[in-house]
Amino acid sequence: MTDPASVAFRSTCPLASVLDIIGDKWTLVIMRDMLAGKTRFSEFLDSPEGLSPRVLSQRLSFLESQGMIQKVQAGRTHPAYVLTDKAMELKEVGIRLAEWGLRHIPGRVSPYLDKFRDED
Amino acid sequence: MTDPASVAFRSTCPLASVLDIIGDKWTLVIMRDMLAGKTRFSEFLDSPEGLSPRVLSQRLSFLESQGMIQKVQAGRTHPAYVLTDKAMELKEVGIRLAEWGLRHIPGRVSPYLDKFRDED
DNA sequence: CAGTATCCATTTTGATACTG
DNA sequence: CAGTATCAAAATGGATACTG
């Protein structure tokens, strides 16, 4: 794996630094979709949140540069994006965030959460 | 930004919706400082990440409108901001994010993490 | 001290057209 | 299909002066 590209970390605080990598509204959504089995560019574009190809492309590149995802392309097939082990270590955090959302935000619906939990 | 903000949720997904509330680079940093015992406006401004009074004010108002923090003002004393129980339920998530940062981002330093862990 | 107001630069985004 | 290019619009941010 290549060295992660440098990020302009605001401090040496580990929490703030993690946020410098995944602290936005899109990154964990993309990772959620990967966890749900999506691998292709067009599949991510189809998410209900509706992100643009521009933003998706930017996030994928950045996440790859940070060693969070890997772009796999075998021959002439469609590229597949998969989470690295490093990123998978955030799965539990994602589940807990979603559970918090279910508890505290009315009207949330989660078809996949039970499935994710069971895989642990 | 004084209106009791309703959030423009992008979807009914609980994870995406949580990110619509705390999905940025500043919110969890402010909550971290509250967890560390800070309660006052000027204390938050002193954080090593260096946020402006403008951003701080915006985030505090929004978080209060979302029931994440409470502004406590007794008489003529300085206002104190404290996390609600609802927000405290994200403490464990914050700890896990910080631990991930310590493991995967070189050079991170965390004087308070052990303390936070012990309080659980 | 606790914020708010202002000004302005930078970033981010959306929509969409376009290319291999 | 998998992106990139482009352009305008909007959100966000920093710095700082200012008020009760």
pLDDT in tens, chain A (120 residues): 445 567 889 999 999 999 999 999 999 999 999 999 999 999 999 999 999 999 999 999 999 999 999 999 987 789 999 999 999 999 999 999 999 999 999 999 998 898 888 787
Q: Is B110 helix (H, G, I), strand (E, B) or coil?
A: coil
B43 within 8 A of B36, measured Cβ to Cβ: no
Q: Distance (Å) from CA A120 to C1' D9?
A: 44
Domains of chain B in sequence order: 14-84 (1.10.10.10)
The CA distance from A92 to the nearest CA of chain B, in Å, is 9
Q: What is the pLDDT of residue B112?
A: 84
Chain B neighbors of A107, CB-CB under 8 A:
12
- Nucleotides of chain D touched by protein CB (<7 A): 1-6, 12-17
What's the half-sphere exposure (Cβ side, CA atoms, 13 Å) at A92?
A: 12
User: Do the Cβ atoms of B23 and A23 come within 8 Å?
Assistant: yes
Q: What is the pLDDT of residue B2?
A: 32
Q: What is the pLDDT of residue A5?
A: 64
* Residue B69 main-chain phi, psi, to 5 deg: -135, 160
Per-residue 3-state assignment (H helix, E strand, C coil) for A34-72: HHCCCCCHHHHHCCCCCCCHHHHHHHHHHHHHCCCEEEE
Supply the pTM of this predicted model.
0.94
Secondary structure E strands in chain B:
69-72, 80-83
pLDDT digits (tens, 9 = 90+) for B22-76: 999 999 999 999 999 999 999 999 999 999 999 999 999 999 999 999 999 988 7
Question: Could you tell me which residues come within 8 angstroms of residue B28 by beta carbon, excluding any fewer than 6 positions away?
Answer: A15, A19, A23, B22, B90, B94, B97
